[in-house]
Amino acid sequence: MRYLLLFALCAAAQDQKPAEAPKPEAPKEAPKAEAAKPDPEIQPVKESPLSITIDTGYRFLSDVGGNFGTYRSVVNLGEGPKVLGVDAAVKDWKNPLFDRFEVSARSWGGEPYSTLRTSIGRRNVYLLHGDYRNVAYYNFLPSFANPGFERGGIVNQRGFDIRRRMANVELDLMPSARVVPYFAFSRDGGTGRGTTPFVANGNEYPVATDLSDSTNHFRGGVRVEMKKARLTLEQGGSKFGDDQRVFATGPNRGNREGTILGQTLLLSDLNQQYAIRGNNIFTKGLLSASPADWVQLHGQFIYSRPTTEVRHTASGSGLFFLGGTRFFNGLDSLTNAEAKMPRSSALVSAELRPLRRLRIFESWTTDRFHNASSALLAEQAFLSGATFNTTNLFTTERFAVNYNRQQLEAFYDVTPKLTFRGGHRYLWGDAQVPPSALSPTGLPAKGEIRQQVGLAGFTFRPVSRFSANADYEGSPGDKSYFRTSLHKYHQLRSRTRFQLTNSLTTGINYSLLENENPNQAANFSLSSRTAAAFLNWLPAGGSRFSLMGEYARSSLSTDVWYLIPQVLTRAQSAYRDRSNAVTAVLDTHPWKSDRGAFFSIGGSLVTVSGSRPTRYYQPLFRGNVPLNKTAQAYAEWRWYGLSQAFFLLEGFRAHQFTAGLRLTH
């Protein structure tokens, strides 16, 4: 019918005379095209503002063969239902409270490292970020810090089973404005149990300990965005608490094998408690500015005023060595201490571009703090129920540190494909610490740090498919605070990358560190080398299969002299480590990529020789098969195996199988 009507109108127009032709406003007839309306059965697809993906499953774990404590210290993955991942987002939602919401969670269900991140906000009004982490720290290797391991002892002296929970929340108001107020709160806390040594004169005793600590951190400020500068002013504070209880019941002979003057030292009972409380107020300012196109300036200043209070009580019984020819059976002690530690830190840096090919970086850092403290100690020793020795001691101490660092670097583009880097770093500072109990003079000990460091490097890109760069720094050594610090050292890092074809990329990375402190009191040396080669092969963009592989060879050696606590004689500690590590994973897509199915096979192998020969093997196989448009089934198998030639007790092996579903909306 529509076509007949249009045909009749066209025929009528042809029969009209020229004088009666339509006037210029005739184009108004165009709306007649509206007659061609879209088919009511075809509706535009509305995209949902909500997207969500959930990975959930169940992990099966075979009986762990070997040492279960070592398995938990290295792997620590358990059995049971798991929420392996959740990603949800709401965007452009017409809502008076928020128009965006994002949440991401990983590894929930008794996992050793669980995370939760959220973000919610309304455009130009506010933005709220949240972050939560739950971390399990377990370390009970029988051979770690265990002088009695060779005699069959399986309890180490530094073991921990701790859960740390960390949370952070930050709120930005008017995030798109020039002036952005913000507020933030974070908390870090941990609780758990473990073992620690109780140190007495002439012996050390591994005992049980309860641990609990927490830190609450508050801060708020304002960020100001200017045309050529950005300013941040912040004020904040923190509150800290640390409680530790060390206890023992029953006879404990400690680490000493022999006797003292024919007597065997013994710990029968112990109850020791620490209670530390701290507060801190700080002020912080940051300024970044670009007064001209060729100069960038940055400055930062922090001033803090932390204070701490410590209360320590201890009571124990057994047979202890007092000194000379005297022994005692019991002890009671009480310690109260407090400290004030004002600290100021500043950083100033500048980036200059005086020439088109030349960039110059200059930075200066200073950190100054001191500790004014006082302590009161009341101690009693008992022999057969009578007071044998009483000590009352009041001390005031001062610990002061001044640290400075200045660095100048220049980057010059010889050609667009070659850039050289050169520079110099200078470290200087001094420290004063209270005298030690073994000091012959009783005067405070003083230390200095002085170090001149040379910097060099280059970046070379002759063609788009090849790149190489290297960085070097070295120092002839002068003065350092700690004998294991970088002193007289050379450090080199190099990276090369070569794209052989559009789908094949390979490269080699190398690092070297040689460090020594020839001072007679230190006699420390360290040598570390690592070379690694990698390969990535993705034919046709990885649509059918891809291969990733890496091989690394490294060596580490250290030599240091130390003082044996029980007999106060010098001995040398030498450690050697030579390792080979291989990792390879082959991903295959047996069907078209839009099917989403893939299978992976591969794993890792590490072999170590030297002071602690070790072999670690972890093969894996995983697969993913789509069930429909919104669901996928996946499964993964892993094998964990560790063996050590000198510490057979610490070996373990276990099968691990995980199966689950991935749901997507």
| Enclosing H/E stretch for 71 | helix 68-74
Q: Report the alpha-carbon distance of residue 177 to residue 173 in Å, rounded.
A: 9
Which pair of structure tokens corresponds to residue 533?
A: 């080669």
Evaluate if residue 36 carries a pLDDT over 80: no
Give the mean pLDDT of 171-189.
Answer: 96
Give the mean pLDDT of 320-326.
Answer: 85
Which pair of structure tokens corresponds to residue 108?
A: 């929930």
Give the rounded distance of the alpha carbon of 496 from its chain centre: 26
Q: pLDDT tens for residues 611-626?
A: 999 999 999 999 999 9
Evaluate if residue 398 carries a pLDDT over 60: yes
Q: Report the alpha-carbon distance of residue 391 to residue 383 in Å, rounded.
A: 15
- The band of 303, judged by pLDDT with boundaries at 50, 70 and 90, is very high
In contact, 616 and 587? CB cutoff 8 Å: no
Any idea which of 20-24, 361-365, 469-473 has the lowest mean pLDDT? Answer: 20-24
Any idea which of 12-16, 49-53, 494-498 has the lowest mean pLDDT? Answer: 12-16
| Enclosing H/E stretch for 478 | none
Evaluate if residue 580 carries a pLDDT over 60: yes
Q: Report the alpha-carbon distance of residue 217 to residue 82 in Å, rounded.
A: 32
Q: Report the alpha-carbon distance of residue 422 to residue 359 in Å, rounded.
A: 11
Evaluate if residue 473 carries a pLDDT over 60: yes
Exposure string of 510-522, with b = 16+ CB inside 10 Å and e = fewer, is ebebebbbeeeeb
- Which of the pair, 149 or 13, is modelled with greater confidence? 149
Q: Which residues pair with 147 in a beta bridge?
A: none
Dihedral, 442, 444, 445, 447 alpha carbons, nearest 10: -160
Evaluate if residue 184 carries a pLDDT over 50: yes
pLDDT at residue 46 in the model: 59
Q: Which residues, including other chains, have CB under 8 Å from residue 592's CB and lie 6 or more apart?
A: none
Count of Cβ atoms closer than 10 Å to residue 179 Cβ: 12
- The band of 435, judged by pLDDT with boundaries at 50, 70 and 90, is confident
Q: How would you classify residue 499: left for phi > 0, otherwise alpha for psi between -120 and 50, otherwise beta? A: beta
pLDDT at residue 39 in the model: 55
For residue 27, give Cα distances in angstroms to 10, 16, 24, 32: 14, 17, 7, 10
Which pair of structure tokens corresponds to residue 662?
A: 């991935």
Give the mean pLDDT of 524-551.
Answer: 92
- The band of 182, judged by pLDDT with boundaries at 50, 70 and 90, is very high
Evaluate if residue 49 carries a pLDDT over 80: no
Q: Report the alpha-carbon distance of residue 52 to residue 631 in Å, rounded.
A: 12
Rounded to 5 degrees, φ, ψ at 90 are -125, 120
Q: pLDDT tens for residues 220-248?
A: 999 999 999 999 999 999 999 999 999 99
Strand intervals (E) in 464-569: 466-475, 488-499, 504-517, 524-537, 545-563
Q: Report the alpha-carbon distance of residue 416 to residue 428 in Å, rounded.
A: 37
Q: Which residues pair with 554 in a beta bridge?
A: 530, 579
Give the mean pLDDT of 52-69.
Answer: 93
| Enclosing H/E stretch for 6 | helix 2-15
Exposure string of 290-302, with b = 16+ CB inside 10 Å and e = fewer, is eeeeeebebebeb
Q: pLDDT tens for residues 628-657?
A: 888 999 999 999 999 999 888 889 999 999
Query: Residue written as tokens 């500072």?
Result: 429
Give the pairing of strands 159-173 and 179-200.
antiparallel
Amino acid of residue 356: R
* Alpha helices in 515-622, H assignment, sequence order: none
Dihedral, 313, 317, 318, 319 alpha carbons, nearest 10: 70
Q: Report the alpha-carbon distance of residue 138 to residue 72 in Å, rounded.
A: 7
Evaluate if residue 401 carries a pLDDT over 80: yes
